[in-house]
Amino acid sequence: MPIKTYDQPIIEALHDMKYDEEEDLYHISKTIPDDVEFNVESVENKLIIRFADNVSLKNEQLYITMIDAILMTAKSYGYDSVKFENFHVNHIGPYDLTNSIEVPLAINPINIQEKDKNF
């Protein structure tokens, strides 16, 4: 997930997520598949991702990972929510794509109240 830099707009950060960074210390793998094309628009604190017609769901987990990564990148740029448009499905994994999705508080958030119930 790219972290906001002062000289890189979010569209460039998102497009960078289509490439592996094997040479760097952390061996970062791409989180947006090569064949996924999109446009980006900002409306106040909401990021709108409009996908091209070629988005297909060959591997649902790849697209869940993509959405997770986009949400965290949007958060690093100060957005409160992301609206995914023209995705060709209404739900994928835990995400309802018919509405805007709030950015998460953190990566893999843990509900402490739920955790305490199990002990």
What does the pLDDT look like over 81-108, one tens digit per residue?
A: 999 999 888 999 999 999 999 999 877 6
Q: What is the largest CA-CA distance in the chain?
A: 47
Distance in angstroms (rounded) separating the CA atoms of residues 94 and 79: 20
The two beta strands, 101-102 and 95-96, are: unpaired
Answer whether residue 75 is part of any domain: yes
- Cα 111 → chain centroid: 21
Answer whether residue 38 is part of any domain: yes
What global pTM score does this model have?
0.79
- What does pLDDT average to over the chain? 82
Answer whether residue 5 is part of any domain: no
Answer whether residue 32 is part of any domain: yes
Domains: count for the chain: 1
Answer whether residue 64 is part of any domain: yes
CB of 38 closer than 8 Å to CB of 52: yes
Answer whether residue 1 is part of any domain: no
Answer whether residue 4 is part of any domain: no
Domain membership of residue 97 as a residue range: 10-117
Answer whether residue 3 is part of any domain: no
- In the numeric block, the tokens 């305490």 are attached to 116
